[in-house]
Structure 1
Amino acid sequence: MPKDRTGALAPTERIAQSIIVLRGQRVLLDSDLAVLYEVETRRLNEQVRRNKDRFPADFIFELTDEEFEILMSQFGEG
């Protein structure tokens, strides 16, 4: 995978590695988007909530408790 001079993954590869399939859709978690935009996750979510009219209806959704548990177990945090 291409890396920049600091050894970090190029943005395209970082994004590709962060994509997960959920409900049959390819998605990025808010925490991964926050890293991409170099902001705190809570600030990203705050701005999305304040500007809902700027995003398509399917841009954001909340995980069910079951989906959350499944993701946490996949990341070894559950």
Structure 2
Amino acid sequence: MQLQVIQKKIYEIRGQKVMLDFDLAILYEVETRVLKQAVRRNLDIFPDDFMFQLNKKEWHELITNCDKLPVKIKHNPGTPLAFTEHGVTMLTNVLKSKKARQTSVAIVRAFIA
């Protein structure tokens, strides 16, 4: 997985580098719904400094300032989950696939590059 592709999906929100649930779902090759279900079943390993829900103002600002978001995502009535580097690492534990492990390594490299 190319480092630049991942880095383009990293945003700064609340002063933290994060990736959004729909981008992570694409990288992990799962549906966003499946990713969110796995997180909900394991909320105990996703404290606020690992993951948070964007509020409507943050989401609107991101939509307004970011041209690279998919159109169908922009019109979604809900707000996405944002995962810090640590939250991305924890996703590997809940998705439990070889693809998740490989993707997590690439994403961690992108966060620290």
TM-score (norm 1): 0.74
Q: CA deviation at 1:52?
A: 1.7
Q: CA deviation at 1:74?
A: 2.0
Structure number with higher helix proportion: 2
- Which runs of no fewer than 5 residues in structure 2 stay unpaired? 68-73, 76-113
> Which residue number in structure 1 is paired with residue 23 of structure 2?
32
> Which residue number in structure 1 is paired with residue 80 of structure 2?
none
- Which runs of no fewer than 5 residues in structure 1 stay unpaired? 1-9
TM-score (norm 2): 0.54
Percent identity over paired residues: 46
Larger radius of gyration: 1
Q: CA RMSD for the aligned pairs?
A: 1.9
Structure number with higher strand proportion: 2
> Which residue number in structure 2 is paired with residue 41 of structure 1?
32
Structure 1: distance between partners of 2:25 and 2:14:
22
Between the two proteins, the alignment pairs up a number of residues equal to 69
Match of 2:3 among 2, 7, 12: 12
Runs of 4+ in 1 over 6 A off after TM superposition: none
Change in 2 beyond 3 A, CA 1:51/1:11:
farther
> Which residue number in structure 2 is paired with residue 54 of structure 1?
45
1:24-65, Cα deviation, whole Å (9 max, x unpaired): 000000011101100111110110110122334422111111
> Which residue number in structure 2 is paired with residue 63 of structure 1?
54
1:31 counterpart letter in structure 2: F
